[in-house]
Amino acid sequence: MIPFSPPRMDQHIVDEVSKVLLSGWITTGPKTKLFEQKLADYVGCRKVICLNSATAGMELVLRWFGVGPGDEVIIPAYTYCSTANVVMHCGAKPIMVDIDQKDFNISLANIRNVVTNKTKAIIPVDISGFPCDYDEINALVREDEIKRLFSANTEDQQRLGRILVMADAAHSIGAVYKGKMNGSVTDAAVFSFHAVKNLTTSEGGAVCLNLPEEFDVDEIYRRLNMKSLHGQSKDALAKVKAGGGNWRYDVLEPGYKCNMMDIQAAIGLVELERYDSNLNRRKEIFSFYDNAFANEDLIICPTYKTDIKETSYHLYMIRVAGATEAQRDEIINHIFEKQVSVNVHFQPLPLLTAYKSQGYDIRDYPESFGKYQNEITLPVYFNLSDDDLAQVTKAVKEAVKEVMT
């Protein structure tokens, strides 16, 4: 069976993790700080904080910005549940909008339609690793009329004076937007290092801070760090470093517990070092799929590179032209019977109970449903061989023919 997305775990990782395990320091410490620095260098953003997930990172940023009850946050309907959940955890309302016709990402026109005086943030999602239209989104939140609508409730909101743009970049570390690394083009961007993502720490995430100059990102880092550790005024490392007698700390607010451990950072450091060479194999796989399906009328290949954008090569999302949801599911069953694992990204949120029960209706998101119903994601990972790829493409082509003709 060809798996969908096995993690790349090898002796190098085992060695690095072992060193940390035996070092006397296993929680947040020097490895995490080093990983944060290397990520900031890689992305070219002002500051990075690592946490135990992207979800935690997105929620902490929203909470830092003061998003709460009565506020609205604009998100795409076509995303993973995490994007909506963090907004709901804060007590705010996710305003879901449909995606664009040209790709799987949030539509600029739809964002414009739903901005109100309650809008505090927009969370564009780089589905599959393909960057959203960031120049346009950044320009929109800076338009005079849109800024006039913005009503600031906190000092930080006042300082920004406009809607915050925080990218859900869970898929898109390594993607490029107009010559810049993704993660450096919005106020904040949050990567996921979950086991199935391009770069993994088993579980983990990172917040890239790129707020305008007038923000002290070191200070924001300290506040996010504090929130990630129960609201304690000092983290464990600071207490130890300061020497004896420095055991006393305060709890400034009832915080959360979502710090990254050095055990995780040790994996991340190895992953980051070989990330670009992993990307090269992923690129080859994308080309292989493009070529294999070039003459298949029923198979629509994804857009992942344009003049100004290049994906992180995270997900290869094909669509079967004209397939209904039931036919797509049937095709997937046939593909699995041929010993190939595939997946579906994503069920639009209004299809899921937690959101449907809040009144979100899939009929309001025709583009999202239309794309979802015939979408299939193919395996992409570093050691998928050309023989494996031949098996995948043969299975997909046959399954599509079996069901659609």
Ligand X SMILES: *Cc1c(COP(=O)(O)O)cnc(C)c1O
Residues that bind ligand X (CB under 6 A): 53-55, 79-80, 82-83, 125, 168, 170-171, 192, 194, 205
Q: Which of 85/233 has CB closer to ligand X?
A: 85
Find the shortest distance in angstroms from Cβ 98 to ligand X: 16
Contact at 8 Å (CB) between 320 and 327? yes
Q: Which residues partner with 93 through β-bridges?
A: 72
Find the shortest distance in angstroms from Cβ 80 to ligand X: 4
Contact at 8 Å (CB) between 215 and 64? no
What are 306's two structure tokens? 């344009």
Q: Which of 168/187 has CB closer to ligand X?
A: 168
Find the shortest distance in angstroms from Cβ 90 to ligand X: 15
Q: Which one, of 75, 58, 83, 80, lies nearest residue 119 by Cα?
A: 75
Q: Which of 75/111 has CB closer to ligand X?
A: 75
Q: Which of 160/272 has CB closer to ligand X?
A: 272
Q: Which of 124/157 has CB closer to ligand X?
A: 124
Peptide bond into 346 cis (omega under 30): yes
Instruction: Provide the CA 223 distance to its chain's centre, in angstroms.
Output: 22
Find the shortest distance in angstroms from Cβ 167 to ligand X: 10
* DSSP assignment string, 62-131: HHHHT--TT-EEEEESSS-HHHHHHHHHTT-EEEEE-B-SSSSSBPHHHHHHH--TTEEEE--B-GGG--
Q: Which of 54/141 has CB closer to ligand X?
A: 54
3-class DSSP state for residue 181? strand
Q: Which of 202/341 has CB closer to ligand X?
A: 202
Q: Which of 133/168 has CB closer to ligand X?
A: 168
What are 270's two structure tokens? 């190895």
Q: Which of 53/107 has CB closer to ligand X?
A: 53
Find the shortest distance in angstroms from Cβ 201 to ligand X: 9
Residue-wise over 36-58: b if at least 16 C-beta within 10 A, else e?
bebbbebbebbbbbbbbbbbbbb
Rg (alpha carbons) of the chain, rounded to whole number: 22
Find the shortest distance in angstroms from Cβ 142 to ligand X: 25
Alpha-carbon distances of 61 from 54, 86, 206, 226, 367, rounded to whole Å = 11, 10, 11, 12, 29
Q: Which residues partner with 122 through β-bridges?
A: 74, 165
Find the shortest distance in angstroms from Cβ 38 to ligand X: 19
What's the burial of 324, exposed, middle or buried (CB within 10 Å: 0-12/13-18/19+)?
exposed
Find the shortest distance in angstroms from Cβ 347 to ligand X: 12
Find the shortest distance in angstroms from Cβ 317 to ligand X: 12
Find the shortest distance in angstroms from Cβ 5 to ligand X: 12
The CA distance from 188 to 214, in Å, is 15
Q: Which of 29/204 has CB closer to ligand X?
A: 204
Q: Which one, of 394, 308, 254, 359, lies nearest residue 133 by Cα?
A: 308
- Helix (H) / strand (E) containing 317: strand 316-320
Find where tokens 């199935």 sit.
196
Q: Which of 198/210 has CB closer to ligand X?
A: 198
Q: Which residues contact 363 (CB under 8 A, 6 or more apart)?
A: none
Find the shortest distance in angstroms from Cβ 247 to ligand X: 33
